[in-house]
Amino acid sequence: MSVSVRVANRRQVRAVSLEGLSLKRLLTLLIVVTAVALFYAFASVRAQNLSFQVSRELETQRELRETGRRLRVELNILRSPERLERVGARLGLQPPEPAQKRVLK
């Protein structure tokens, strides 16, 4: 059994060289690569700025929650019946007489 190889059926491999590229194609390729690099740099800087803004806003949120918590505690202290009785006594107020009380339905 003999196997013969026909030369006409073989694939020919072309070597890629820059000499085959025209100046117009080379310039287009260079512009595309530059545009992609600039877009990547812009996206990277933008992501870093957004990350910084998010961390700053999270810190502001934490501070506001702490302020809200302190204000709720202060409000509860100011509304306490013992404190209101002390302030009323200092201002010369007295508890109401039973006849002065009204029951609301």
Task: Provide the residue-wise pLDDT of the chain in tens; the chain has 105 residues.
Answer: 566 555 555 666 666 565 666 889 999 999 999 999 999 999 999 999 999 999 999 999 999 999 999 999 999 999 999 999 999 999 999 888 989 999 888
Task: Determine the straight-line distance between the first and last CA of the chain, rounded to whole angstroms.
Answer: 115
- State both tokens at 26: 């080379």
List the chain domain ranges: 19-89
Please state the separation of Cα 43 from the chain's center in Å. 15
The pLDDT, as a whole number, for residue 88 is 93
Q: Provide the pLDDT for residue 14.
A: 65
Q: What is the pTM of this model?
A: 0.53
As a whole number of angstroms, the distance between CA 84 and CA 77 comes to 10
pLDDT (0 to 100) of residue 10: 63
